[in-house]
Structure 1
Amino acid sequence: MKTMDHKSSVRERVWAELLKVAVPDSRFHFDFGSFIADFDGGEAAIARLTAHPHYRNAETIFIAPDNCVERLRKQALDDGKTVLMTTYSIKRGFWVLDPARIAPEMRLFASTLDGMERMGRPVDLADIRQMKPVDFLVTGTGAINHEGVRFGKGHGFFDAEWGMLHALGRVQADTPVAAVVHDCQVLEEILYPDVFDTVADVVFTPTRTIEIALPHKPTCNILWDRLDPHMFDTIPPLQELKAMGL
């Protein structure tokens, strides 16, 4: 079976189970190809994550713009951590949420996709290059196995974000990555990662914390000859990275 056919098959099977526990999105309803859903038990999964040393030891965290980690963005701000994230729009760019600049009563709003653009500040890659390194990255995903191999919506956004941050020297091969998922998204089977796929170090579900023994982290930065031209055309940071010669 071809890799793309395999990934599509896995996604469709997991999405059928996720439909039973997912929280719909007002923009996309249950179109799991358009967003990463929150789910029943999401609070417990985040509680497991925030108790983990990767989170406790982090000062700067990249948190994907996924519904299942919205409450994590709020908690990170309350805990005094700097949050780096991307917007959810087609013109995907980076934003920083600084807890020192966001009043406590506004942090819930700031943690949402609409609020972050009002309460945070946009940053380009030159700004990110001057920031402290990212200590921890957190994402939702579509499916994941016990080796930390994850399949998202199929767009490759998180892997591109890792590639850009790696090219800038803000993450390294040992920078931990976490995935937050429902138990039904964890598979007992082999998944086949590509060279640019970012494997998780740890998986948090409502009932389990799954530590990955040998997570694979891409060190290839952005593979320009394999990048979807549509991604390049619609994601300004990729255009900026290319102009930087990285």
Structure 2
Amino acid sequence: MEKAGRWAGRNTNKDALRSRIWETLDSGGMAMGPTWSHIPNFIGADQAAWHLAQTDAWKRAKVVKCNPDPPQIPVRLRALYEGKMLYAPVPYLTKEFPYLKIDPAKLREKGISFELAATSGGYLMYGERVDFEDVEPLDFCVVGSVGVSRTGGRTGKGAGFADLETGIFRELGIIGPDTPMATTIHSSQLVGDDEIFMMAHDSPLDFVATEEELIVTNNSMPRPKGVAWEFVQDDQFETIPFLKSLRDRMESR
């Protein structure tokens, strides 16, 4: 039986691309930890975070949002050490609250190490629980990726969490049309422009950082204005506790 990701079946072309990348990371020895059905951790993730942190957009940012996955621990750690307010989601959005606010000043007051708070387990324990509407306007957004093109196309692990969160933030005005979108990946996760199909609700990337380089995509694709609820999967409404009530609140605005 052919190996497949957890969310396989929604798009066969994307499934094939993800499978190829996960297999390449595994067979090439670049992966750190599990790859299949994950945003894969990789050797050189700290160097990729360093490349990302050299951008003027990152340096200017005071409020940063970052995905919860292991390869972005160095990104979250840099944000905290640089005194940035950090927001990160509950992994898989499985709790009654969607997000955590991680304030480096409060962590220092409590004697909590940034190294602990940069992990998903650490920030779930020590971060402040917040709803989407409570998140401050974001200056810089980092998302997890499985496959990325040099022109800013992106595919994740197939669950649709990043697109959903970004759409919610866009509709609430927390992410604007000029808010930088970025990711960190291993260089082997770079693919051709024609291998990633971007849909109307997908947000293109402005920066791609690998262990080798920083890529400025100069992507000029229009950004979505909000949530494309028609693309939200039935299983997302079933497994994300707050999603139905959030949709009702947003549609009544």
TM-score surpassing 0.5?
Answer: yes
Gaps of 5+ in 2: 1-8
**In structure 2, distance between residues paired with 1:86 and 1:111:** 12
How does 1:103-118 map onto structure 2 within 5 Å? 103=108, 105-118=112-125
What is the CA distance between 1:245 and its match in structure 2? 3.1
**In structure 2, distance between residues paired with 1:135 and 1:144:** 22
Correspondence 1:22 to 2:31: yes
Given that 1:200 and 1:215 are in contact with CA atoms closer than 8 Å, whether structure 2 keeps it comes out as no
Correspondence 1:151 to 2:158: no
Change (3 A) 1:39 1:233: same
In structure 2, the partner of 1:59 is 62
Equivalent pairs: percent with the same residue?
Answer: 27
What is the CA distance between 1:106 and its match in structure 2? 1.6
Change (3 A) 1:126 1:144: closer
Given that 1:98 and 1:120 are in contact with CA atoms closer than 8 Å, whether structure 2 keeps it comes out as yes
**In structure 2, distance between residues paired with 1:217 and 1:81:** 28
Could you tell which deviates more after superposition, 186-195 or 166-175? 186-195
Change (3 A) 1:49 1:163: same
Change (3 A) 1:236 1:60: farther
Correspondence 1:196 to 2:201: yes
In structure 2, the partner of 1:245 is 250
**In structure 1, distance between residues paired with 2:232 and 2:211:** 34
Match 1:136 to one of 130, 134, 140: 140
Gaps of 5+ in 1: 25-29
| SS at structure 2 position matched to 1:210 | strand
Given that 2:92 and 2:161 are in contact with CA atoms closer than 8 Å, whether structure 1 keeps it comes out as no
Given that 1:66 and 1:139 are in contact with CA atoms closer than 8 Å, whether structure 2 keeps it comes out as no
The letter of the residue matching 1:116 is: Y
In structure 2, the partner of 1:234 is 239
| SS at structure 2 position matched to 1:22 | coil
The letter of the residue matching 2:248 is: A
What is the CA distance between 1:239 and its match in structure 2? 2.7
In structure 2, the partner of 1:7 is 14
CA RMSD of aligned residues (A): 1.8
Given that 1:124 and 1:237 are in contact with CA atoms closer than 8 Å, whether structure 2 keeps it comes out as no
How does 1:19-58 map onto structure 2 within 5 Å? 19=26, 20-24=29-33, 30-33=34-37, 35-58=38-61
What is the CA distance between 1:217 and its match in structure 2? 5.1
TM-score (norm. length: structure 2): 0.87
**In structure 2, distance between residues paired with 1:189 and 1:3:** 20
Q: Would you say how many aligned residue pairs link Structure 1 and Structure 2?
A: 236
Q: Deviations over 1:63-114 (max 9, x none)?
A: 0011111121111111110111101145151111011110265211111111
Given that 1:3 and 1:192 are in contact with CA atoms closer than 8 Å, whether structure 2 keeps it comes out as no
**In structure 2, distance between residues paired with 1:85 and 1:217:** 25
In structure 2, the partner of 1:222 is 227
| SS at structure 2 position matched to 1:15 | helix
Change (3 A) 1:216 1:94: farther
The letter of the residue matching 1:210 is: I
The letter of the residue matching 1:7 is: K
| SS at structure 2 position matched to 1:172 | coil
Given that 2:22 and 2:35 are in contact with CA atoms closer than 8 Å, whether structure 1 keeps it comes out as no
**In structure 2, distance between residues paired with 1:164 and 1:184:** 31
